Structure 1
Amino acid sequence: MLKCISFKSSTSSSTIPNPSQEGTPSISREYNLAVHTTSYTEIRSNVEAQLHHLNPNRDRVQDALTLIPTRLTRLISTFFDHTETASDLCLHLHQCLLRARDLHAPLLDFFQTLNPTDPTQNDCVRALRLFHPFHAFQNPIPDSLTFSAIRSDLSALKTQLDRRVAKSLSRLRIVRRAVRGSALCLVAVAIAVVAATVAVTLHAVAALAAAGAVPVCAFEKKELAELRQLDAAAKCAYVLSNDLATIDALASRLRAAVEGDKVLVRLVLERGNERYLVEEVIKQLWKSHKGFLEQVEDLEEHIFLCFYNINKARFLVLQEITSNPA
């Protein structure tokens, strides 16, 4: 679902890869592809079995951070911290979702045996018995403020990472221009030496060129490695921020639905259990319960996919660090 940046470059290339030109995966497209393929069943079962596990875990991350330059440690470490926070929030929301299901379960069971067009007196009595505990419970779905802080943190981190990527690209362009200029100077010197038929000096110029190329190549290799790491973290931060925005919107919608059901129930209880009002509320709740189940399923699917994306993002950044140490 998440894709890592791929760089194709060599010291002889005259162009520098620009990570910002790489397309970021469409969240909705990737989500729909995952949900409507058999692999989603695997994703869901794996996440359900390992809801409390980050992969790679904190120990592996700490080991990997020793492989990167000190100037990058804070940014990359912050990325892993934010993904861990996002995972904790998704876990908390999933637990809230389970409580919402438990809260509605008695009502949903009641609707299975109900004739919604003509509730009986017995149906009204049963409904009232269910309304009291339903009203007593607080809405288990948290408000949108839950995810706003981590989304803001991921957005700010992406901005910082993008700035570092831009600086790295700028350094690479300067070095490559310097290399081209040096190469022209060396060619001119070599031609002059050949013209003077001073073979010894020619060998000296060639040796000088080789000696000068080594640190330049080493610098470019190191800079490209840092560029890959920074860009992978920036892209993953962007994708996760969008994932959390989608989850936040779905959670807000579900919270509003639960709150609407609680308002209807409170209206009945405050009006002294009037038979007509009880019947009307039963009918309204019956109409909305199917939508409630769909919203719960939709949110749960996105939570599972976000867990998957978080671990995938952590793995991709870790892979860039270990396979291309700067």
Structure 2
Amino acid sequence: MMCLWNNCGKFSEEKEMDVSMSGGSTSPLNVEDEYNANLRTQSYLDLYKMVHPNRTRGQCQNQNNYQNQDQNPSPSPSQNIHLSPIASGFFRNLPHCVLNPSQDTLNGLKLSSILVEFFQTTMDACAACSVLLASLDKARQHHKHIRRLLLRLSEVAAGQLNNGPGQAVFAELERRVEVDNPLSSQSLSLFHSAHSRYHPLVFRLASAHRRKLCQARFIRVVKKVSILIIFKCIAKEIQRNERAEVQMDMAVKGAYIVERDFDTISRMVQRAYDEIEHGRDVVKMVLEERRRQLVREVAREVVEGEEELMEQLEELEEHVYLCMITINRSRRLVAQEIVGEDLR
């Protein structure tokens, strides 16, 4: 489930989270509609074009039903599934292009230690998402190379399969399979590390938020029973505490939602990893037996399953984009509460 703010700048699951924390119940959200609507926001399209600048994504589905805040239709997420490879090193710079406000901007703000941790964790989460995007690109290319080599092998005559042309293709195929699965835990160690930091962060932010709420209740009581002179002395402290309480409220909700997003993405990564690993296993079987009939059967299986795998990878990519947008909004809304102005 992908939990996002709506276009008005509020959390779309704010009510759901408050209910879940209090043990109440509410009617379920239409998750598919919310997910599709978020794919059609200008923020999503801007991020997609940043990663795939030379591509268009097909025609809009249900143009009359789903429009972004600028009334610009979004292309269908199921079109053009065979994406071109991204230039090497592109994703390393992506967080610096996406993050708003930047860490340099935040360095000039007076922040509590828990908010320093919040902004550092969101920055690391954005970097982890960029690593995952790079791995998805590698996964597409990994599959494409294996598919190409299997098709070449399937066209080699039976007598030449283990010598000459066939032997060279087998050698190249073996080199490809020896490379780690692009979605392995080792390749995505930064993503898993960022994911593991969110649950304790949510706990610490929630504790800080509760402390601010208790302080706010106490100050309201003091306000009611204090004489006018005392109230004037504490008026500034009242305002400062109220702002801090709102900041903690926005931060804990933002961290909670990103943690949920990371949970979803982790499950999707595992499914995609298993699918790729299955393809690698059957290729290893081909490398062991080197029979022409088996080569053809495996090549046919890989070709037939390619579209489903590519759609799976693209859906995962979409969720990563949405997560990066959510991370960005959490940073911006908390920072706006700190400086008291819109940081768009």
Q: TM-score, normalised by structure 1?
A: 0.72
Partner of 1:262: 280
Q: Kindly, what percent of the aligned residue pairs are identical? A: 26
Q: Does 1:59 align with 2:104?
A: yes
1:270-289 matches, within 5 Å, as 270-271=288-289, 273-289=290-306
Deviations 1:253-298 (A, max 9, x none): 1111111111001101101x11221122122212221111111111
Q: Does 1:32 align with 2:74?
A: no
Q: SS where residue 184 of structure 2 aligns?
A: coil
Deviations 1:218-269 (A, max 9, x none): 2221111000111111111111111212221111111111111110011011
1:41-52 matches, within 5 Å, as 41-46=45-50, 51-52=94-95
Larger helix percent: 1
**Distance of aligned partners of 1:174 and 1:296 in 2 relative to their CA distance in 1, 3 Å threshold:** same
Determine the C-alpha separation between the residues in 1 that align with 2:94 and 2:201: 25
Out of 2, 5, 8, the residue aligned to residue 5 of structure 2 is: 2
1:133-144 matches, within 5 Å, as 133-143=175-185
Out of 244, 258, 266, the residue aligned to residue 240 of structure 1 is: 258
Out of 304, 307, 318, the residue aligned to residue 301 of structure 1 is: 318
1:1-326 matches, within 5 Å, as 1-2=4-5, 21=18, 30-36=34-40, 40-46=44-50, 51-53=94-96, 54-64=99-109, 66=110, 68=111, 73-108=112-147, 129=169, 131-143=173-185, 146-182=190-226, 209-271=227-289, 273-323=290-340
Q: SS where residue 51 of structure 1 aligns?
A: helix
Q: How many matched pairs?
A: 275
Determine the C-alpha separation between the residues in 2 that align with 1:127 and 1:291: 29
State the shift of 1:132 in Å. Answer: 3.5
Determine the C-alpha separation between the residues in 1 that align with 2:10 and 2:139: 40
Determine the C-alpha separation between the residues in 2 that align with 1:127 and 1:222: 74
State the shift of 1:5 in Å. Answer: 6.8
Q: Name the stretch that deviates more: 130-139 or 280-289.
A: 130-139
Determine the C-alpha separation between the residues in 2 that align with 1:127 and 1:260: 23
Contact 1:5 / 1:22 at 8 angstroms: preserved in 2? Answer: no
Q: Name the stretch that deviates more: 292-301 or 259-268.
A: 292-301
Q: TM-score, normalised by structure 2?
A: 0.69
State the shift of 1:138 in Å. Answer: 2.0
1:137 aligned partner, one-letter code = V
Larger radius of gyration: 1
State the shift of 1:29 in Å. Answer: 5.9
Determine the C-alpha separation between the residues in 2 that align with 1:238 and 1:267: 44
Determine the C-alpha separation between the residues in 2 that align with 1:139 and 1:165: 41
Determine the C-alpha separation between the residues in 2 that align with 1:102 and 1:86: 25
1:246 aligned partner, one-letter code = T
- Alignment root-mean-square deviation, CA: 3.4
Determine the C-alpha separation between the residues in 2 that align with 1:47 and 1:310: 17
**Distance of aligned partners of 1:179 and 1:37 in 2 relative to their CA distance in 1, 3 Å threshold:** closer
Determine the C-alpha separation between the residues in 2 that align with 1:290 and 1:177: 63
Determine the C-alpha separation between the residues in 1 that align with 2:228 and 2:265: 56
Q: Name the stretch that deviates more: 258-267 or 242-251.
A: 242-251
